[in-house]
Structure formats: C-alpha cells, structure tokens
Amino acid sequence: MLEVHNLNVYYGAIHALQGISFHVEEGEIVTLIGANGAGKSTTLRTISGLLRTRTGYIRYKGRDITNTPAQEIVKMGISHVPEGRKIFAPLTVRENLLMGAYTRNDPNEIQRTMERVFASFPRLKERINQLGGTLSGGEQQMLAMGRGLMSRPTLLLLDEPSMGLSPILVEEIFRIIQEINQQGTSILLVEQNAHMALSIAHRAYVLETGRIVLSGTAKEVAENPMVKAAYLGV
C-alpha cells in the first residue's frame, strides 16, 4: 500500500532522515519506534506532504506521491493525526470533525462517517457541542483521531497518540486503534511507548538519528536485546 524508498530530508543543514526505506501492506499496523529526535515525526510529515524530500520517493497504491501537495494526499486516502493533537480549540467537537471532512462534498455521507466516528468514540457524541479547547487531554486525542477519520482514509498516520495520557486512557486509545484497523484502515503508528506500540503492531521499524537500524515483525523487534534495553526497560 505504501512504499517509502531512500528518503533524505533536511531541516536547513540538519540531515533529519538519512536514506530511510520501509513499506506498509494493506490491512497492517506498522509502528516506527525510537527516541526523541530520531526522525519519526519527520517521516510522517514527509509522507503527508508537509515536508519535502531531497532524494528518494514515496508511492501510495502504486502511485508516486513524492512532494505532492498535502491536500491532494488527503484526497488520495492518507490522513495524518499530528503529534500534540492540533485540534481547533475555539471550535466545537462537531465543527472540528467537519473540518476533517473538508475534501468531501456529500452531506449524507459525511453524516454517516460522523456516526461511525461516534461509534468508536462515544464520548465525543456526548460532547458534540462542547468547545475543543475545554476537553480533557484524552478527549482531545479522541477528537484528533476522529477528525482524521472524517476523510475516510485507507491509511491513517498516527503521531504519538498516547502522549500525556494516563495509563488507563492509553489502553483505551490503543484498543480503539486496533478496532479502526480491524474495520479496514491500515495504520502507520509513531509512538514512544514502545511496549504498547509493539503489542498491537504487525511489524516494526526502529529509528535512530534518522536511520532505520532494525526491522521485523513486532514480536521479533520486541524480543531484540537492544530494543529491550533501550525502549522496553528490560
């Protein structure tokens, strides 16, 4: 479904991604794990068109989308839930969700999608007229994910969905991620909570300072001694 090949991305003189290559198959949850500054968020931002790569290519369903404008990538079926949620605080829950459907035109289809989002996140329906900025951290993460689903993506990019949440909420968010995947959406997950990410992923890649240093099934990566020591506290 997604093929990333030899990406080299720079922030000015900083070489943030150094020739990384990986792929996501249809129906998979693939996770990128690594320390702060490893290049995980940069990878997602490059795939979704927010950053430009200097070399390499990105293919989605066989189509080259390298350096395609972000709004066009959303229309193709890739949705990005950014780190830090980035919800619209002055807008209501409903208005935030409608912003996620800005590429779609059929009001009935949009309403049906919203009902599916409420089925995954019942708390959002309870707070449909509440301002986004007044929600709790966990509710804001649910809103960010719900907004991402409003474009009906076939590939969802999730950046640090557990950040700042209590352990109970983290478990709830990851359960919902699995549900979304089981309903047919492929997921590329960036996550510092390596234990939780590896517990739901099919495959994993480990990034260190802009390079992929390890890859395999989630089980293989979780059992790797370097990963155990660096990310799982074992």
Per-residue pLDDT of 74-132, as tens digits, reads 999 999 999 888 999 999 999 999 999 998 889 999 999 999 999 999 999 999 999 99
pLDDT band at residue 152 using 50, 70 and 90 as cut-offs: very high
CATH number of residue 231's parent domain: 3.40.50.300
Domain tally for the chain?
Answer: 1
Q: What is the pLDDT of residue 85?
A: 85
Element (H or E) spanning 23, and its range? Answer: strand 14-24
> How many other C-beta atoms are found inside a 10 Å radius of the C-beta of residue 54?
10
What is the rounded distance in angstroms from the CA atom of residue 44 to the CA atom of residue 53?
12
* 86 found inside a domain: no
In a domain, 51, yes or no: yes
Predicted local distance difference test score (pLDDT) of residue 234: 57
Domain of 7?
1-77+188-234
- Residue 12 maps to a domain: yes
The C-alpha atoms of residue 159 and residue 42 are separated, in whole angstroms, by: 10
Residue 197 has pLDDT above 60, yes or no: yes
Q: What is the mean pLDDT of the chain?
A: 93
Q: Is residue 111 part of a domain?
A: no
Whole-structure pTM value: 0.92
In whole angstroms, give the CA distance from residue 13 to residue 56: 18
